[in-house]
């Protein structure tokens, strides 16, 4: 495939996108990604939708705003029985199943790696789509093949605006504020909550690069989950035997609860930093990488001789951070690997791209190269690119 680089324009530079549009308002970039970067045919997508471990949906719009939803895995026959128009097939997490698709994520290197959730790919027959709706995450909608019309509304919607008794989250009414048709290579960015409505103009394929967001509540729940439990209700120790009214909560009770909560906050900065790295790279369920058993020394040597390329496992999101004065951590899959700061150049190199060639190293043998690459191979976070 062609190299995946997002083409900002003279009028919408990368910086202007981040300052004015990211998380704020929609923007359309024409010819943002060369169409030859989208290497997946409708047949290949249908094939994925027939696999057991792949999440897929078939959505059909019937007369009278009636929507039908079926979940995969599908059989080839399911596709041959479909009508000529008004249906779409959507496959989730295609980047996790097809490494060539994951390579497109390099084009989004202006967003932290841990924020990239998945690439969902849809194939639609003429007029097919999922109806007007909102999503609660940022999304880059890339037109891969054919044409799709997108309508956007500036109105804010809530649960009460959804079509009742519908298996999908479809808005009952939609007032169009902007209307555009995307050609192959065009990209529409939408922040969370902006209502949109895509319909295929003839057959088309759309790639949706969706962001992952953690709510404050999810972050706190993640922190509490890792707190060691004392296994004892400490509050019982605080009962005041001489209370005049057993229903009264005393100031001491309140102080005790406040103290328990304050003590749950991170005190040790190293522990906290390591936890953040682990938490933000936690894999989705079913995307845990198994340890690699093959001969890693041989793989390392071949790579160091320029005879093979290593690629990041498509399920691994990398995050690198300093956890103390003299230690760095490379996190992925909810785990942290710790190294001395002297390994910084090696770690930066390992994080910079999804495909690593030895020739990309500024210095051919920076400190820690063998150790880090062997660790990443052993954990399966890097693998030979075939």
Three-state secondary structure string covering 187-219? EEEECCCCCEEEEEEEEEEEEEEEECCCCHHHH
- Residue 143 contacts which entry, ligand SIN, Co ion, none (Cβ below 5-8 A, type-dependent): none
CB nearer to ligand SIN: give 156 or 307.
156
Minimum Å gap between C-beta 206 and ligand SIN is 4
What is the number of residues in the chain? 386
The smaller minimum CB distance to Co ion, of residues 149 and 378, is found at 149
C-beta of 350: minimal distance to Co ion in Å? 34
Q: Which does 206 bind (CB under 5 to 8 A by kind): ligand SIN, Co ion, none?
A: ligand SIN
Dmax (CA) for the chain in angstroms is 81
| Count of residues that bind ligand SIN according to CB under 6 A | 10
Here the tokens at position 159 are: 């649960």
130: contact with ligand SIN by CB under 6 A:
yes
Please state the closest distance from residue 172 (CB atom) to ligand SIN, in A. Answer: 17
Provide CB contacts within 8 A for 45, sequence distance 6+. Answer: 89, 91, 94, 121, 123, 205
Among 56, 92, 206, 333, binds ligand SIN (CB under 6 A): 206
Give the binding range for ligand SIN (CB under 6 A) out of 122-130, 224-232, 334-342, 356-364: 122-130
> Which position among 39, 51, 135, 201 is part of the footprint of ligand SIN (CB under 6 A)?
135
Closer to Co ion at the Cβ: 109 or 135? Answer: 135
Q: Which does 88 bind (CB under 5 to 8 A by kind): Co ion, ligand SIN, none?
A: ligand SIN
Burial of 343 (0-12, 13-18, 19+ CB in 10 A): buried
User: What's the CA gap between 38 and 1, in Å, rounded?
Assistant: 8
User: How far is the CA of 235 from the CAs of 95, 220, 232, 252, 260, in angstroms?
Assistant: 48, 22, 9, 10, 9
Is residue 129 part of the contact set for ligand SIN (CB under 6 A)?
Answer: yes
Q: How many CA atoms lie within 13 A of 223 on its CB side?
A: 17
Binder of residue 122, out of ligand SIN, Co ion, none (CB less than 5 to 8 A by kind): ligand SIN
CA distance 112 to 27: 20
- Pick the stretch among 48-56, 127-135, 322-330, 363-371 that binds ligand SIN (CB under 6 A): 127-135
119 binds, among ligand SIN, Co ion, none (CB under 5 to 8 A by kind): none
Q: Is residue 201 within the footprint of ligand SIN (CB under 6 A)?
A: no
Site for ligand SIN in 87-116 (CB under 6 A): 88
- x/- binding map, residues 156-195, to ligand SIN, per CB under 6 A? ----------------------------------------
Helix (H, G, I), strand (E, B) or coil at 15: helix
Give the residue, chosen from 39, 135, 161, 385, that forms a contact with Co ion under the rule CB under 5 A: 135
Nearest to 327 by CA among 277, 255, 382, 378: 277
Q: Token pair of 151, please?
A: 């309508």
Q: ω into residue 358 within 30 of 0, thus cis?
A: no
Rounded to 5, what percent of the chain is helix, strand, coil? 30, 25, 45
Q: Which helix (H) or strand (E) holds 312?
A: strand 310-312
Residue from 92, 134, 153, 208 in contact with ligand SIN (CB under 6 A): 208
Retrieve residue 73's tokens.
């895995």
Nearer to ligand SIN, 153 or 346 (CB): 153
H or E segment and range at residue 272: helix 269-280
CB 293 to Co ion: min, Å: 41
Judged by CB under 6 A, the residue of 26, 72, 146, 198 near ligand SIN is 198
Q: Hey, which residues between 252 and 291 contact ligand SIN (CB under 6 A)?
A: none
Residues in contact with ligand SIN by the rule CB under 6 A: 88, 122, 129-130, 135, 139, 196, 198, 206, 208
Residues in contact with Co ion by the rule CB under 5 A: 135
């Amino acid at each position: 495939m062609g190299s995946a680089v997002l083409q900002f324009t003279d009028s919408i530079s990368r910086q202007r996108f981040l300052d004015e549009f990211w998380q704020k308002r929609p923007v359309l970039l024409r010819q943002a990604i060369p169409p030859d970067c989208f290497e997946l045919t409708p047949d290949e997508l249908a094939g994925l939708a027939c696999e057991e471990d792949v999440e897929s949906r078939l959505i059909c719009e019937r007369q009278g705003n009636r929507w039908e939803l079926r979940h995969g895995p599908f059989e080839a026959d399911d596709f041959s029985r479909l009508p000529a128009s008004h249906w779409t097939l959507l496959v989730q997490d295609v980047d996790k199943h097809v490494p060539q698709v994951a390579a497109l994520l390099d084009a989004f290197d202006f967003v932290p790696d841990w924020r990239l959730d998945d690439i969902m790919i849809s194939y639609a027959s003429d007029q097919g789509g999922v109806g007007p709706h909102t999503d609660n995450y940022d999304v880059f909608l890339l037109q891969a093949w054919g044409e799709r019309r997108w309508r956007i509304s500036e109105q804010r919607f809530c649960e009460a605006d959804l079509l009742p008794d519908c298996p999908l989250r479809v808005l009952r009414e939609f007032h169009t504020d902007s209307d555009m048709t995307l050609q192959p290579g065009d990209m529409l960015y939408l922040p969370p909550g902006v209502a949109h409505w895509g319909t295929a103009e003839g057959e088309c394929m759309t790639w949706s690069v969706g962001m992952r967001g953690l709510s404050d509540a999810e972050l706190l729940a993640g922190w509490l989950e890792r707190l060691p439990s004392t296994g004892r209700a400490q509050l019982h120790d605080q009962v005041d035997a001489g209370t005049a009214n057993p229903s009264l909560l005393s100031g001491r009770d309140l102080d005790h609860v406040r103290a328990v909560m304050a003590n749950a906050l991170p005190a040790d900065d190293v522990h906290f930093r390591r936890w953040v790295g682990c938490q933000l790279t936690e894999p989705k369920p079913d995307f845990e990488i198994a340890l690699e058993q093959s001969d890693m020394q041989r793989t390392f040597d071949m790579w160091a001789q320029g005879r093979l390329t290593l690629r990041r496992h498509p399920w691994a999101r990398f995050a690198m951070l300093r956890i103390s004065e003299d230690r760095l951590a490379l996190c992925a899959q909810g785990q942290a690997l710790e190294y001395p700061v002297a390994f910084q150049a090696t770690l930066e190199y390992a994080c910079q791209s999804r495909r690593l060639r030895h020739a990309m190293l500024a210095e051919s043998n920076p400190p820690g190269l063998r150790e880090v690459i062997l660790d990443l191979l052993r954990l399966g976070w890097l693998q030979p690119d075939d």
